[in-house]
A and B are shown apart, each in its own frame.
Chain A
């Protein structure tokens, strides 16, 4: 069977060999964690603890009444030493609960396994997802409880488990599939049960044969599950491209969502975290990340507590092999460059990538030569060269009519541009302006 794929996209080098064969290890035991009260898409949380209070692992430290939100929990036991704005890896400063660890990692007494999946109702699973602060761990950190609660009238018939992991360098999902395929399947089945979906497909890129193998074996006993092999191409892991490749369905342009075509997509890391929450009762207080790049002394796949400062993670990996010129949270295509290592690992941290100077230097942009490469690369069928040109000239309305809002900022266009034009950057500027005007109009 031919591997499934989508149109557009780019071939990027993987750089996965640094960590793809390294088993997941227990990460550092931080002396202090910083838990930002906003780590997800949606309303930020209010703190539910006070300064000076003693907290235990798994205890809720922030929550919100809003539907689209997710509570946050203590990942160490110890004392709340501050509730104050702290630098956030997605930029700016965000109110955070700072906990000084007592080194005991004592778990809150209410943390108890929920019982076997067979005995749980969809409602119970949804409540567990909400209470455990579960969010999509692929990057966007959308609250999982919301994702599995489609609005009335939307019929979901397929659940896709996203194991494409198309970002170069990152291998956390790959390792989870190889090492914990049964847990991944358990989490997947729990999510499907919450949704009431009868068909589930695990989607893996064909550069991970061992993961394909493991997932095939683990899904064997479950007739409702199958494995789909996708061609290795960036951005195969983007929800819309994955749905197109595997099911041939096209999600309508924004505000269209996968559920408009009867699909819900969740990522492998999320499914694994759901299984952990089910079997241990622990909320989302740790996740697997890939620490990698030429500047890391010992690249690794680590199980890290949410709130651990990047600096402790890097120290745990033997420090720098050479001084990094760029620090990125996430992968090199869509990750966010950091000002330093003081920011904490959050729920959406899929990796920590340290790049040397030769990879970090901004290349001088040249004039566009109209080669059309960005057009061919754009998986959304846009004209990046024109969008960017309009954006640079401040002609945002023209950019809007050329569907600037359809851009998912995958970076394929900027990656491929031989003139090194900062296309996505320009399009982002246009999108921000268009969104601001839309919001103003709505008011």
Chain B
């Protein structure tokens, strides 16, 4: 004891066992049911896309940090999460280079150039998706049917009256389990709910954003989404369709790019829901989830500035 001096640091001297990498690893675990569903419905090509997305993200992060002479932080699992989410947002028919280019862009341009984890203000996976959408729209909207990989429209495209595609709509059940056309990781509401539930139980995310997001979409599409006037919308189809579950549980909840207070998280979910519905019902694209989240990412600093907790003992004036 005399030989080695005791460590003198300031309190607290206890730290919670939950670290950044433990949280990120939990997100990866929570994404596995959706990956499993993707492989069931779209075959091994789904697996390929996810593997390439993750690999590219990790290599890009390690490579960039090496070149920039910064500490390599791929051990925190955040690149793995970004790679998975990007791949989940691609069509199953995507060529092999799409996840590779997308992940590399997500990590290098949308994350590292802003200063790395914690500094980026928009969700890297969604930024990359938007970039791919703008650069290779054909590849990004080539949908295939589950099981037999025949080209088709997504249920959301079929849902929008003005596109005129009165195509055969999948049943609620098919949409719930995920046996419909769509992005690799977004079709199975069931699998995403299992994963989202896991994140809630493990307290990795709080309920505020997903509940507000999904709730808002349900209410607004019910009120405004029908062809027979107000309150005739098929809200259930709207919440099961497209990237809503994936977005609400896994992307709008991204720590770095969403508000830090519980009230702010509610506003985040609400805003995402409103924007999603506006884009779905009135925008140029059938799907609005990812743009809605990106827009709310931009609004996050503002939300954090104005939505602050009430300091203990203070009486709110005004």
B-side residues, CB < 8 A to A, are: 1, 4-16, 18-20, 22-23, 73, 76, 78, 116-119, 206, 255-256, 258-262, 265, 308-314
A12 located at the interface, meaning its Cβ lies under 8 Å from any Cβ of chain B in the complex: yes
Known: A324-B1, A333-B14. A369 touches B312 (CB 8 A): no
B314 is contacted by which of A240, A252, A379, A411 (Cβ under 8 Å)? A252
A367 is contacted by which of B9, B19, B119 (Cβ under 8 Å)? B119
Q: How many residues of A contact B (CB 8 A)?
A: 65
A227 located at the interface, meaning its Cβ lies under 8 Å from any Cβ of chain B in the complex: no
Contact in complex: B255, A372 (CB < 8 Å): yes
A300 located at the interface, meaning its Cβ lies under 8 Å from any Cβ of chain B in the complex: no
Number of A-B contacts (CB under 8 A): 160
In the complex, what distance in Å separates the CA atom of A12 from the CA atom of B16?
8
Contact in complex: B10, A425 (CB < 8 Å): yes
A382 to chain B, nearest CB (A): 6
The residues in A between 7 and 24 inclusive whose CB is less than 8 angstroms from any CB of B are 10, 12-13
Q: Which residues of B contact A252 (CB under 8 A)?
A: 313-314
Known: A250-B312, A376-B262. A409 touches B11 (CB 8 A): yes
A370 is contacted by which of B14, B19, B256 (Cβ under 8 Å)? B256
26 interchain pairs (CB within 8 A)?
Answer: A253-B311, A253-B313, A332-B12, A333-B13, A339-B8, A359-B13, A360-B13, A361-B7, A366-B20, A369-B20, A369-B117, A370-B118, A370-B255, A370-B258, A372-B206, A375-B262, A376-B206, A378-B309, A381-B311, A381-B312, A383-B261, A414-B12, A416-B18, A418-B18, A418-B22, A424-B10
Known: A332-B13, A372-B255, A411-B12. A420 touches B19 (CB 8 A): yes
Contact in complex: B7, A371 (CB < 8 Å): no
Contact in complex: B4, A326 (CB < 8 Å): no
From B73, which residue of chain A is reached at the shortest CB distance?
A366
Main secondary structure of the interface of B (DSSP, over half): loop
From A11, which residue of chain B is reached at the shortest CB distance?
B16
Contact in complex: B7, A240 (CB < 8 Å): no
A229 to chain B, nearest CB (A): 22
Q: Which residues of B contact A328 (CB under 8 A)?
A: 11, 13
Q: Which residues of B contact A425 (CB under 8 A)?
A: 9-10
Q: Which residues of A contact B314 (CB under 8 A)?
A: 252-253, 381
In the complex, what distance in Å separates the CA atom of A116 from the CA atom of B15?
48
B124 to chain A, nearest CB (A): 13
A-side residues, CB < 8 A to B, are: 10, 12-13, 168, 240, 244, 250-253, 256, 320, 323-328, 332-340, 353, 355, 359-363, 366-372, 375-376, 378-383, 385, 403, 406, 409, 411, 414-420, 422, 424-425, 428
B313 to chain A, nearest CB (A): 5
Contact in complex: B20, A419 (CB < 8 Å): yes
Known: A367-B116, A385-B260. A335 touches B13 (CB 8 A): yes
In the complex, what distance in Å separates the CA atom of A4 from the CA atom of B109?
50
Q: Which residues of B contact A406 (CB under 8 A)?
A: 311-313
Q: Which residues of A contact B262 (CB under 8 A)?
A: 372, 375-376
Q: Which residues of B contact A409 (CB under 8 A)?
A: 11
Q: Which residues of B contact A244 (CB under 8 A)?
A: 312
Contact in complex: A375, B260 (CB < 8 Å): yes
In the complex, what distance in Å separates the CA atom of A18 from the CA atom of B73?
38
Closest 3 pairs between A and B when the two form their complex, measured CB to CB: A411-B12, A372-B260, A367-B118
